[in-house]
Amino acid sequence: MDVGIALSERIRSAGDTVSFDLPGAAEQVLRTDKFDKIYYQVRRADGSSLAGDAGLPPVPEARTPDDGVIAYDGAYRGQKIRVVALQVPCGSAPCTVQVAETTNKRSKLARNIVLSSLVPELLIALATLAVVWFGVQRGLAPLADLSAEIRSRSARDLRPIDPAHAPEEARPLVGALNQLFGQVAESSGNQQRFLANAAHQLRTPLAGLRAHTEFALAQEMPEAQRAQLEQILRATIRTARLANQLLALARAEPGGTRVETTRVNLRAVVEGAADEWVHRAMEKEIDLGFDLADVQVSGDALLLREALANLIHNALEYTPSGGRVTVRTGARDDHPFLEVEDDGPGIAPAEREQVLERFYRVAGTAGTGSGLGLSIVREIALAHGARVTIGAGEGPDGGAAGCKVGLTFPHG
């Protein structure tokens, strides 16, 4: 604006004659700027250029002078400019003095203002986020540890959580969880005691019933009565086995009989039960073979023998006459294993998880099983930190055939 006023003072008018007198040195000073280019123009009342840079954008028609000064944006010679125009007396009609400047300084100033305000705010925001994140992480770390401890527990582990390791705010939650664990453990213990007592109470009368039935079958009698007694004997044997399985399940479940952990040789477990199962296999004309290697595990010998008994019983039960059953012990990748393989009908992949559930039997299969055998095996495996694997066996031609169920134990 000051430049425009200075230029207006160089306008000379005499009647209708208007002239503009600006020394070259003054114009050079006017146009000197380190960052921007300076333009000016003096227009007559009719809009024609009197002096300066012709072609500067005229004052927009919608704009009206504000104290004789109008500022607006425009473009000149391909560059954005900021124009200040003022009207000055010029003879009988006013002249317009325009001073324009490119916007380099303005743009740089705007960027500096934005950066000087935005960067500190951004840094403050990042610092705030970091402090909040660190504070939340630090504050929630005990809860994360508590969550990890609970998540790492198995269904068998109902020990109370130590509240000393929990933050003050979470101790009521820990107390409630411990109370719940106690209730679940008590309920599970009551259920297992009932199951064990019922199974134990059934064993004695069933044994007596079997003995009396076998004694009766040794006597002379009509064939119709003999057929009825044989059916009673088969039902008694199945019921006695079910009672024994229920007792084994109650002992193997969490909260059941405490597992007596010792160093157990899996080969010795198999050899100790071999005679009993060889005779049963011979009765069904099944080739029962053994591929045994010495391997030690930490566990309960009685429970491991019960798991083996269920695996061999299932294999003999579902393998047809003339078939093969093989029992193996050894180690793979430093993991001890016990497995039983047969060439029976096998278990479809879709049902290999389901057969581990209680009382589940594959539809359409023969045999007198109750659906508890593999459930017992799974519970015994869990008690020993082992995992149960079910897959297909190997047929005579090298292809998949039959079923192979194994227990893989932790590192010996």
Residues 6+ apart with CB under 8 A from 267: 292, 293, 294, 295, 329
**pLDDT at site 409:** 92
CA 388 to mean position of chain CA atoms? 24
Which value, in Å, is the radius of gyration of the alpha carbons in the chain?
49
**pLDDT at site 340:** 92
Is residue 258 pLDDT above 60, yes or no? Answer: no
pLDDT over 90, % of the chain = 7
Which residue, among 264, 246, 234, 141, has the nearest Cα to 203 in the 3D structure?
A: 246
Over 301-312, what HEC string results? HHHHHHHHHHHH
Which residue, among 80, 51, 57, 79, has the nearest Cα to 70 in the 3D structure?
A: 57
Query: Looking at the structure, do residues 76 and 202 belong to the same domain, yes or no?
Result: no
Strand order in the sheet with 400-408: 287-291, 324-332, 335-342, 400-408, 387-394
CATH value at residue 244: 1.10.287.130
* CB of 267 closer than 8 Å to CB of 329: yes
Residue 150 domain-assigned (yes or no): no
And the tokens for 75? 């473009």
Strands 400-408 and 262-265: unpaired
Query: Looking at the structure, do residues 399 and 317 belong to the same domain, yes or no?
Result: yes
Query: Looking at the structure, do residues 272 and 230 belong to the same domain, yes or no?
Result: no
Strands 324-332 and 287-291: parallel
- Tens of pLDDT, residue by residue over 98-124, are 888 888 888 888 888 878 888 788 888
Residue 377 domain-assigned (yes or no): yes
Is residue 256 pLDDT above 60, yes or no? Answer: no
Q: At 180, is the pLDDT very low, low, confident or very high (cuts 50, 70, 90)?
A: confident
**pLDDT at site 341:** 92
Which residue, among 176, 187, 192, 184, has the nearest Cα to 158 in the 3D structure?
A: 184
* DSSP run (H or E) holding 233: helix 223-252
Residue 403 domain-assigned (yes or no): yes
Query: Looking at the structure, do residues 363 and 277 belong to the same domain, yes or no?
Result: yes
Range of the domain at 239: 172-252
CATH value at residue 362: 3.30.565.10
Residue 131 domain-assigned (yes or no): no
pLDDT over 70, % of the chain = 82
Query: Looking at the structure, do residues 266 and 397 belong to the same domain, yes or no?
Result: yes
Q: Which residue has the higher pLDDT, 87 or 403?
A: 403
Query: Looking at the structure, do residues 271 and 238 belong to the same domain, yes or no?
Result: no
Residue 146 domain-assigned (yes or no): no
Residues 6+ apart with CB under 8 A from 361: 355, 369, 371
* CB of 341 closer than 8 Å to CB of 393: yes
* 154, 263, 342, 400 from 404: Cα distances, Å: 26, 25, 6, 10
Please state, in angstroms and rounded to a whole number, the distance separating the CA atoms of residues 272 and 302. 11
Average pLDDT over residues 83-104: 82
Residues 6+ apart with CB under 8 A from 395: 343, 401, 402
Query: Looking at the structure, do residues 303 and 396 belong to the same domain, yes or no?
Result: yes
Q: At 186, is the pLDDT very low, low, confident or very high (cuts 50, 70, 90)?
A: confident
Residue 68 domain-assigned (yes or no): yes
Query: Looking at the structure, do residues 282 and 209 belong to the same domain, yes or no?
Result: no
Query: Looking at the structure, do residues 218 and 274 belong to the same domain, yes or no?
Result: no
Residue 114 domain-assigned (yes or no): no
Angle between helices 223-252 and 171-217 (to 10 degrees): 160
- Tens of pLDDT, residue by residue over 23-73, are 777 777 777 788 888 888 888 777 788 788 888 888 887 666 555 688 888
Residue 218 domain-assigned (yes or no): yes
Query: Looking at the structure, do residues 227 and 266 belong to the same domain, yes or no?
Result: no
- Quickly list DSSP for 340-394: EEE-SS---GGGTTGGGSTT---TT--S---S-HHHHHHHHHHHTT-EEEEEEEE
Query: Looking at the structure, do residues 225 and 346 belong to the same domain, yes or no?
Result: no
- Tens of pLDDT, residue by residue over 355-400, are 878 767 666 565 556 677 788 888 888 888 888 998 887 766 666 6
**pLDDT at site 408:** 92
Please state, in angstroms and rounded to a whole number, the distance separating the CA atoms of residues 246 and 306. 12
CATH value at residue 49: 3.30.450
Q: Which residue has the higher pLDDT, 136 or 370?
A: 136
Please state, in angstroms and rounded to a whole number, the distance separating the CA atoms of residues 379 and 251. 9
Instruction: Give the residue from 79, 102, 125 where a domain finishes.
Output: 102
**pLDDT at site 337:** 93
Q: At 192, is the pLDDT very low, low, confident or very high (cuts 50, 70, 90)?
A: low
What's the structural domain count of the chain?
Answer: 3
Please state, in angstroms and rounded to a whole number, the distance separating the CA atoms of residues 228 and 216. 11
Query: Looking at the structure, do residues 227 and 270 belong to the same domain, yes or no?
Result: no
- Tens of pLDDT, residue by residue over 64-75, are 655 568 888 888
Instruction: Give the residue from 51, 81, 102 where a domain finishes.
Output: 102
Q: At 328, is the pLDDT very low, low, confident or very high (cuts 50, 70, 90)?
A: very high
Instruction: Give the residue from 222, 252, 282 where a domain finishes.
Output: 252
